[in-house]
A and B are shown apart, each in its own frame.
Chain A
Amino acid sequence: MAKKSVVTEAQEIQLAIELINLGARLQLLETETSLSRERLLKLYKELKGVSPPKGMLPFSTDWFITWQPNIHSSLFIDIHKYLVEHAGISGIEAIMKAYKLYLEQVPPVVDDEPVLSLTRAWTLVRFFDSKMLTTAPCSKCRGHFVVHSFDLHDDYVCGLCHMPSRAGKTKKSKDAAAASVEAVIA
């Protein structure tokens, strides 16, 4: 076995800290760093104050196809692809930078989690690597959007060019709108 390098370990801990702060789950950390599970657990508890969520990671590709997640994941994967192609970075570094840029692009909602979590983003990239998902150009705006690899998408129209009639009209958004109206009246 290769001799353990202190410098490498320090770098890995630094990486793990950044990932945890961005909201990574333990499975992601275990895959992307070579730190032991115990150390990662300790690190997680120290940073977040709670033990990491247990259970399996979300594994469905269908989540990325539904309307709102599709927009967010398309944005993330386009940024990721851009960074890999033009900036020449790869692996977890590309995912982290793309995720930070994605967070900048979607206006942050106060005390609300981003639609696409880092763990989901990482899963998305793995789905792309395993060719379960791919991008298809929208026939109207020519933007690239996440689709299933084996679907037909000759005349694909994205969710932004052709909005579903009830898109974005969730209970939460309705409550928020009502709250803002009340604030104006009051």
Chain B
Amino acid sequence: MQAMANIAISLFAGRSYCAPFFGVCDYTLGACQTNAYVRVVRMPDKKYRFRPISFVCCKLQNLSHWQCKYRARYNGIKEDMTVNDMMAEIRDANLSYLMLAQQMVRSDKATAIFRLGLSKDIADLIGGMSTTQILKLAGSNMMLARFRFDDSAILGMLTKNNKDRALAQSHAAILMAGQPIEEIA
């Protein structure tokens, strides 16, 4: 009760435009199972906004409002923002991948074919693409590049810690270089 009174006092001392009002901050619900509070504030444009009271969060569980929010995100709470963010990241990765691949193919095709693990036809295609084409291709929400190790047993063996790092790297390179054609073509 004492804490609530303190909050109310500090709110009045703050710069809210009308009388504050306590509600439940929905970001924190899924994240930490503890309610935090928001206040409703009337902004100069006469619209009502929810403002988090971060110190309540802090007092209750030693977290800031924003920490709660990000926890909620990473705990798998369905939030449209996250999915959109992920899509944007994928498009970004696609674009950087395509641009890098094109640069590599144009400077030295044979080396690029090995480094990227492509077939020659695909390398020719990527090398000949225009910027518009690259942008169009990168704009898809699906990842364009794929993982080079398909075999979980091999990947597990390579990531085990019982080997020298340099040795594990050469082993991985030997395996990748020796991949059968049908896997990469």
Q: Which residues of A contact B (CB under 8 A)?
A: 71-72, 74-75, 78-79, 81-83, 85-89, 93-94, 97, 100-101, 105-107, 135, 137, 140-145, 160-161, 168
CA distance A93 to B108 in the complex (A): 12
Q: Report 12 cross-chain contacts, Cβ distance below 8 Å, ordered by A residue.
A: A71-B174, A75-B173, A78-B173, A79-B114, A81-B177, A105-B169, A135-B178, A141-B157, A142-B154, A144-B174, A160-B171, A160-B174
Point out the residues of chain B lying under 8 angstroms from A72, CB to CB. Answer: 170
In the complex, which of the residues A72, A101, A135 has the most CB atoms of chain B within 10 Å of its own CB atom? A101
Point out the residues of chain A lying under 8 angstroms from B75, CB to CB. Answer: none
Looking at the assembled complex, report how far the CB atom of B121 sits from the nearest CB atom of chain A, in whole angstroms: 10
> Among residues 84 to 132 in chain B, which have CB atoms less than 8 Å away from a CB atom of chain A?
108-111, 113-115, 118-120, 123
- B110 near A89 with CB under 8 A, answer yes
Point out the residues of chain B lying under 8 angstroms from A105, CB to CB. Answer: 169-170, 173
- B115 near A143 with CB under 8 A, answer no
How many residues from B make CB contacts under 8 Å with A?
A: 28
Contact of A141 among B109, B123, B171, B173 (CB under 8 A): B171
Is the C-beta of B166 less than 8 angstroms from some C-beta in chain A? yes
Closest residue on chain B to residue A105 by CB atoms: B173
Q: Which residues of B contact A (CB under 8 A)?
A: 108-111, 113-115, 118-120, 123, 151, 154, 157, 163-164, 166-167, 169-171, 173-175, 177-178, 181, 184
Looking at the assembled complex, report how far the CB atom of A128 sits from the nearest CB atom of chain B, in whole angstroms: 14
- A82 near B154 with CB under 8 A, answer no
Point out the residues of chain B lying under 8 angstroms from A79, CB to CB. Answer: 114, 173, 177
- A75 near B111 with CB under 8 A, answer no
- A87 near B110 with CB under 8 A, answer yes
Point out the residues of chain A lying under 8 angstroms from B118, CB to CB. Answer: 86
